Every structure is written in C-alpha cells, then in structure tokens.
Structure 1
Amino acid sequence: MWQIDSTCLKWLNLQTERSVIYVSFGTWVRPIGSDKIKELALGLENSGRPFLWVLKKEKAWQSGLPEGFIKRIEGRGKIVEWVPQEEVLKHKSIGCYITHCGWNSTLEAIQHAKPQLCYPISGDQFINCSYIVKVWEIGIKLDHIEQHVVQGCIEKVIEGKYGEMLERVTVLRSNVMEGSASEEARNNLGIFIDSLR
C-alpha cells in the first residue's frame, strides 16, 4: 500500500483559505495516460494557484510530467504519493477538488463542503459526476484534460461559480448531516410499500 505523507498538512497550513486545488484520482483508478498527466500538470502550473496533487510514484502515473515541472512548481505545488484525505478535505485552505468522482470521494467532498472538478474514469463515477454537476450543481465536469480547459475550469470554480457552489454544497451537507435526506428516504420507502399493497 502507499505511504501517507502527513507533511502535506503542514504545507496546507501555510496556504491561504480556499486557495489550494486538491487533485486525487483515488486508490484503484487506472492511470489516465501520460498525455493527460502532462496536460493536467500544465493546467495546474498555468493556473498560478497552489495545488496538492496525489500522484502515485508508478511510472504509468509519473511519466507524463513535463520536463522541469517539479522544479518550476516548487513551493507552490506539492506532489505526494498518498494523503490522509479526510484531513485534507476538511482543511480550510482547500478551495477545489479535482476528482474521479468515486462514491467515497464524492461523499467526503460533500461532508467537507468542497466544490468539485469532475473527471470520471470508469463505472459509477459517471453517474456520480452527473449528480455532482447536473442535479446538485456543486461541481463542473472536465470534459477532457487539456491545459487550457483545466485552467479555465479551475478559474470558474475558484473565481466565478465558487460562491454559488459553496452555498449549494453547504446546504446539501446540512441536509445529509441533519437527517433530512434519511427522512426523505423513509418517506419514499413508505410510498413504495404502499404502492405494493
């Protein structure tokens, strides 16, 4: 298994509130390809914003990093193999989460009221992404990974739609945490049972 890098929390403490882009594609997601890694890296770099990127040390993940990238982003960007995700997502410096939309990641982002940039890769991630973007309206979908698209979506979330998304994700979080979602589920179950009679 991967080694958790707890130095990222100290690094996050040095960043301003809601300024950091957090990037993680989960534990079991297959590599997205060196071309996409390169474009994502350049989009993050060109955004001018601090970022924390969980990037496995496997060649399939690291081979796309542009030459000189690590040196150029030193101090502003932090690349680690693994993080304590709950701690990272609840940190006040995180402003946006670039995610594969795995169910656990989606719930953790909602729990900690973080807007999402969605790049689903397989399975239920596409359905989760649809809910995040179209139903709950707490994120934006990255239709493809090209540096200008990544940079533009980061700006939309952080500068443009952030306030609206933050408000919606905060309401959604409250509904889930306070139990109104479970109340609605009970009501729906009752309606379903009544329909069977």
Structure 2
Amino acid sequence: MVRTLLAIEGRLVRGALAQVLAAQEDIDVVAEADTADTVHAALLTARPDVAVIDVDVVPVEQLARLAAAADDNHGGRVLVLVDRRRAGRLRAVLAEHHGWIGFLDRDVPPERIADGVRQVADGQPVLDPDLVVAALDVADNPLTAREREVLDVAADGMPVREIAQKLGVSPGTVRNHLSHVMAKTGARTRLEAVRIARESCWI
C-alpha cells in the first residue's frame, strides 16, 4: 500500500483527487495539506511514501529541500504537479531536479496521477515530456531575483512605500528595481510589466 500525501490548493479539487486515489487498491491517502507549512508537518507526522505536491502550494525554491528531507527521513518520494502554462516555473523546478522527484502536468487525468504515484514509489522516473517541451520554449528570465520579488509584491497594487516597507528596503531602491523591470520588459506601466512577466512565466 502506497501511503500518499496530497498537497493541492482548493478543497474541492483536492477532495476529488483524494477520492480517485483512495479508490485504488494499492494507494492510501493518509494526509492532505494546502500550505507549505502543513506539508512539512504532514511529512513528519503521516510519513507518506509519496507526496503529491502542486507547485503553487510549495514554492519552487523549497521543493528540492522538502523532497530531500522526505527522502532522508523515511525514503519518501515527491510527485510535483505543474501547470504547463507556467512553464517558467518548471524550468526552475527542473534545475533542482533529483531522482526522487517526479513531474506531471497538473491537467493530466487523475488516473495518470495514480500511475505516477506508483511509479515514483517504485523509484521509477516520472517526467511528462510535454512539460519539458513547454519549459524549453520559455525565454530565459532576464529579471534578477530581487527584481522578481519587487514585481511580485507590486502585482498586488501596493504603493512604492508599502513595497519598500514589506521588503525592508528604501523606496528609492524599489523605484530603481521597477525602472529596471520596465526597461527589461519594454513595459510602459507597472501593470503592463506584471502582465508581460506573468505571460512569460518570469514571476
């Protein structure tokens, strides 16, 4: 029996997938989570064999560390679900790829996820070829990590002073970063820069 953790946003979607997996004779859904913190806690308490994690629940930069912790703790594996339309995220995830992490398109049928759980649990590689193609088609991100951070916060419509306060920098620094972002994206406004960056999967 493959003990499985589901970390997926949205109770309805998560519940539907849980029902499909629970109906499998060889899969047991032992825990559910919807935030990075609850995923970490569930890994320690439920000790799943496989954690199915939506990349929107656990930030990209935490995936490899989380998967390594699961592997070190009890040999757990991770199956990551990625939205193909956000292929830029996938490039970042693949950069941290390790043998105990599998990747599937978020829109695959639930039965394919069940098969992926079995494969990952058996130590077999799981990598959706369509995701790889989508990732390779994305232009390299020209924004620095700090520029992405500033733009991501700015996307919520915060004024410069509030962005500066949230990030612990000066308003002048925020303005400089936004100016660089607009130059790199060719945008005329902050909102346009956000749109371009999102469509290009840079944030």
The TM-score bracket by the shorter chain reads: 0.3 to 0.5
Q: Tell me which of the two structures has the higher relative contact order, counting C-alpha pairs closer than 8 angstroms and 6 or more residues apart.
A: 1
Rg larger in structure:
2
TM-score (norm 1): 0.44
After TM superposition, the score normalised by the length of structure 2 is 0.43
